[in-house]
Amino acid sequence: MCLLSGGLDSATALAIARAEGFVCHALSFDYAQRHRFELDSARKVAAAAGAAEHRVVRLDLSAAGGFGHSALTDEIAVPKDRAKAGGIPVTYVPGRNTVFLSIAMAWAEVIGAFDLFLGVNAVDYSGYPDCRPEFVEAFERLANLATAAAVEGRGRFRIHAPLMRMTKAQIVRTGLSLGVDYSLTHSCYDPSPDGAACGRCDACRLRLEGFAAAGATDPARYAPPPGDRRS
């Protein structure tokens, strides 16, 4: 099973899972993200990767804080053109990966798929607490205590985070070597209404730097910079 956001990282994690021979059940969440291009990308990426199936769970947590206030869910400005910042980014969404993994675990127990892949990365996104190796290890431990399947010995959960210690350039190189079509993926935190990436938010900058360092060209569609726009 693979958590699939539609971004570059989870598309690469899915390609790695497929290359390792796993039949992949891809899972995405519709949780009132500010923009919906991610889910369109997730569908295309799942199909291109030959996932056995792709499910989208609609998750409305508005009754319980709605994942709080984040630049990814609310009208909080997405930072642009900044150098790598320290601390936890405004794009952090409280509890998100824990909730997503829990639901993946519940589904995984039902269908007997004990290998969960996710595209978290501790190098470029070191500010997110739920993207660190210790988080992934703690979740794996929890899953093997929480489920009847694990306790009864019918399966042992393994949480795979194959990108954890890769740089963005290594991720891009790995994905390209596995045939990932990155034109299908969506990374931008602040796309234009037609889905073009801004090229200036943290996600776009990391992505562009990754492609440049890998000696490759990002096939994503970028909006022209403001000066280039025709009136």
Positions in the binding site for a copy of itself (CB under 8 A): 27, 55-61, 63-69, 88, 92, 94-99, 101-107, 109-111, 129-130, 132, 134-135, 138-139, 141-143, 145-152
- Least gap, CB of 228 to a copy of itself (angstroms): 37
**CA separation for the pair 203, 182 (Å, rounded):** 14
Is the CB of 103 or the CB of 169 nearer to a copy of itself?
103
Is the CB of 35 or the CB of 69 nearer to a copy of itself?
69
- Least gap, CB of 168 to a copy of itself (angstroms): 22
Is the CB of 41 or the CB of 97 nearer to a copy of itself?
97
DSSP category for residue 57: E
Is the CB of 107 or the CB of 222 nearer to a copy of itself?
107
- Least gap, CB of 43 to a copy of itself (angstroms): 13
**CA separation for the pair 128, 71 (Å, rounded):** 14
**CA separation for the pair 83, 204 (Å, rounded):** 12
Question: How many other CB atoms sit within 10 Å of the CB of residue 107?
Answer: 16
Is the CB of 51 or the CB of 143 nearer to a copy of itself?
143
Q: What stretch of H or E contains 26?
A: strand 25-30
At 129, phi and psi to the nearest 5?
-60, -35
- Least gap, CB of 20 to a copy of itself (angstroms): 22
Contact yes or no for 197/188 (Cβ under 8 A): yes
Which of 160, 161, 79, 93 is closest to 123 using CA atoms?
161
- Least gap, CB of 149 to a copy of itself (angstroms): 8
